Amino acid sequence: MANMIKLPLKESFTVTFPKDANAVSILLNYPRAYFWLMNCFIQLTCWGNQYLDYYDFYYRNCMLLSYQRIKAELAEQMERGVTGFIKNALAKGYYVVLPVETQYIGQYDFKAVHDMMIYGYNDAGFFDIADNFSGGKYRKAVCSTEELREAISRINDPDTWTGGFEGTIELLSYRDDDRANFELYRVIESLQDYLASRATSRWDVNLGIKWDLDEIKNRCFGMQCYDGIFQNIRIAKEQGGFAGSGHRALFLEQEHKRIMELRLAWMKERYPISDDIIAKYHTIADWSCVAMRLKLKHDVTGDEKLLNRIEEYYKLIRDKEMGVLPEVISELENY
């Protein structure tokens, strides 16, 4: 029987972006991490009224993840090259994240340079991998050693540098920290910042955002991110469909509402949150799911009337969230 290493991955509650899904899938193996993660994924940020992302979580800046990187050219000099280095790293308990050329790995249905996580291997010649593969859905899969070698053959070429990797391989592992706890004040401040459409501060944030003048001018936060949703809908009306950023923006909004509902239900076991507030956020999450289903239906039919219905739903979602957030903050402040 072939030797094998397969590091544990839990099902992530965030899957829009693999960078987040990878980290959360690792962290959820540890009970402390769930408490700490309930502080995160509250604040949203949007660039250029299109590109929506979380602002209060970033795997390269996470207190519960040990984050290391090594130049691929150094890994190539080790015995059995990069694939040998990856196997050694996995055997020592490190999850490996690196950029690959997707055209060489059969699990992908698009051609690009994309970051992929490796969490296992076996001596039969296959690696366990995780990413948003065919159909854009985050999932686990396998690739052959030959596929992986082809996909990383140009990892040192600056033309393939993407996502801040710059020719490196990243190693992730859990790092316990007694300071990593649920912090009510942090959640309250995050909700206040979200409601006021201002950048969250005072704790680890998304360092992938570059703070130059152009970035500051074009970035918005919190409730103002609904402008990005409406902008993507306008673009869809003009172009006859959603671009990649538009699809991800709607999916992230749907996911954000589900996580908000999940957090409130978890907090209700510990803090005085009324059933009425839980019910209101459940309605918001349901409406966001309906909007996403309408979007998927539009992808198939191209019926422009569906875009108007999506827009109407997001106006309802925005207004209802604007109304319920002060109630949530008030109840938590009175605890």
259 confidence band (pLDDT: 50, 70, 90): very high
Phi, psi of 182 (to 5 degrees): -70, 135
User: What would the mean pLDDT of 67-96 be, rounded to a whole number?
Assistant: 93
User: What are 98-156's pLDDT values in tens digits?
Assistant: 999 999 999 999 999 999 999 999 989 999 999 999 888 899 999 999 999 999 998 88
When pLDDT is averaged across residues 13-39 and rounded to a whole number, the result is: 96
Supply angle C-alpha 150, 96, 146, rounded to 5.
Answer: 20
Residue 36 lies in a domain: no
The most distant pair of C-alpha atoms in the chain lies apart, rounded to whole Å, by 61
315 vs 165 pLDDT, higher one: 315
Q: Are residues 167 and 209 in the same domain?
A: no
Q: What average pLDDT does the structure give for the chain?
A: 92
Shared-domain flag, residues 79 and 110: yes
3-class DSSP assignment, residue 175: coil
Q: pLDDT, tens digit, for every residue of 156-205?
A: 888 777 788 889 999 999 999 998 999 999 999 999 999 999 988 777 77
Residue 47 lies in a domain: no
Span 9-21, pLDDT tens digits = 999 999 999 999 9
Residue 211's pLDDT band, with cuts at 50, 70 and 90, is low
Q: What is the DSSP letter of 49?
A: T
Q: What is the pLDDT of residue 95?
A: 98
Q: What is the C-alpha separation between 306 and 271, in angstroms, rounded?
A: 40
**Among 124, 148, 174, residue at a domain's last position:** 174
Confidence grade of residue 54 (pLDDT, cut at 50, 70, 90):
very high
Residues 160, 246, single domain; the answer is: no
The pLDDT of residue 1: 35
Q: What are the structure tokens assigned to 327, written together?
A: 């109630």
pLDDT value of position 102:
95
The answer to whether 119 touches 95, Cβ cutoff 8 Å, is: yes
Q: Which among 174, 198, 222 is the end of a domain?
A: 174
If asked whether residues 22 and 158 sit together in one domain, one would say yes
Structural domain includes residue 46: no
Q: How far apart are the first and last CA of the chain?
A: 57
pTM: 0.93
Residue 16 lies in a domain: yes
Residues 138, 157, single domain; the answer is yes
Per DSSP (E only), the strands in 102-187 are: 113-122, 126-132, 138-144, 168-174
Co-location of 169 and 26 in the same domain: yes
Model confidence band, residue 210 (pLDDT cutoffs 50, 70, 90): low
The domain containing residue 199 runs over which residues? Answer: 184-333
Instruction: Report d(CA 141, CA 110) in Å as an integer.
Output: 16
